[in-house]
Structure 1
């Protein structure tokens, strides 16, 4: 093939410009991610704009279930993905997207519709730019990924602590760092997904890897959106 490129992490030379299989794989990843975002958006809008339903969830101890259920789903995926079928993993991803929608429904009670739309558009632009860079760059982003994962762990811990102390200053710092971490993770994850394709191409697990790749990018986008909304959103 022309213009071989050495993919980071696996040492395999491939033509990233002409490989139809890679394009199909990446389209599958983004298609799954996009459907997940649609499910999340519809559920969030339904919950957030139905006063009785919102009160039943966010005005009772169920709010803690809504807050922690998405995190529980992520751990579930991490420990069970190897034993799942492709269809089972895809179904679990749709269920996760719906649960995340319940959790995100509260933003409609806190922020104006205009600021939600603005944060979503800003997140989409940043996400697509970093995804494109991650897909096209020949730079190995592995080392950058290690630092970003450390930053992600720090954000999770700090966010859990701030749930109980409610510091606005801490929330702002978390959001600023979060924007940097999740934009960087987007590029790193796209490159990792691309490398995984060459490693798993032709194997049955490749279809399952599309779902896992979609989950990673979905989480990056949703978290980037939330961080931007926290920073720039106009409150009701």
Structure 2
């Protein structure tokens, strides 16, 4: 009887995990599409592009708006309805698209597409690893978060130092870091899915999609430094 109950519990958990992960990847994929289409639209409009990139106030205002949306979704998720959380997530994807429109000015379209497919392959492999590995990645994730703070500090310092060597080091560390974070975030989502209440599945899917979306975007941007070909 106990074995039968354990079997039922395991089957139910697997079903919930499958449902959550479908929603996570679906929302993440849609957000990436929204970001890409927004970036292409802005990049195809010289007037719009000049307005955004030509004004520091507008550009930094967009970045502040992005940070605000991420803070609201991450920090106030329990207070938001599932629908509101999803809409805020897609708003963030649109804002990201506006900010990232500049990469179509800096890099050739072919190299952007090439880097995107490389990113998709690496991301896919690591998120699958995060799902199937039996190793507990909690400690590894803690180290990754510490490294992330170090990376942010180094990036800020390099804005003033403008060292090409440090820039390459930051790029290498950034790629390695977000490869690791992809696996860790996936495992976190998987573990949370086994514990989540049915009424909270939608919110878990949204915060999970946001985490993996951020991993994908950052991995793409760091890889673009290696594979992107300048338009100049």
Question: What is the TM-score of this pair, normalised by structure 2?
Answer: 0.90
Rounded Cα–Cα distance in structure 1 between residues aligned with 2:142 and 2:160: 29
Q: Please state which structure has a larger fraction of its residues in helix.
A: 2
Check 1:46–1:167 CA distance in 2 against 1; reply closer, same or farther (3 A cut): farther
SS of match in other structure, 2:114: helix
Displacement after TM superposition at 1:68 (Å): 4.1
Aligned partner (choices 41, 58, 63) of residue 59 of structure 2: 63
Distance 1:73-1:216 versus aligned 2 partners, 3 A rule: same
The yes-or-no answer on 1:116 pairing with 2:112 is yes
Cα deviation, residue 213, structure 1: 0.1
Q: Is the 8 A contact 1:57 1:63 kept in 2?
A: yes
1:20 is aligned, of 4, 15, 21, to 15
Decide whether aligned partners of structure 1 residues 77 and 158 sit closer, same or farther in structure 2, where only a CA change above 3 A counts. Answer: farther
Distance 2:42 2:171 in 1: 24
Q: In structure 1, what is the Cα distance between the partners aligned to 2:127 and 2:95?
A: 25
Which of 196, 207, 213 is residue 218 of structure 1 equivalent to? 213
Range 97-106 or range 78-87, more displaced: 78-87
Q: Paired residue for 2:147?
A: 151
Report the CA distance shift for 1:122/1:188 in structure 2 as closer, same or farther (over 3 A).
Answer: same
Q: Indicate the RMSD between aligned Cα atoms, in angstroms.
A: 2.1
Q: Structure 1 residue 194 and structure 2 residue 190: aligned?
A: yes
Gaps of 5+ in 1: 5-12
Q: Which runs of 5+ in 2 are unaligned?
A: none
Task: Tell me by how many angstroms 1:21 deviates.
Answer: 2.1
1:233 is displaced (CA, Å) by 1.0
Task: Verify the 8 A CA contact 2:28 2:213 in the aligned structure 1.
Answer: yes
TM-score with structure 1 setting the length: 0.88
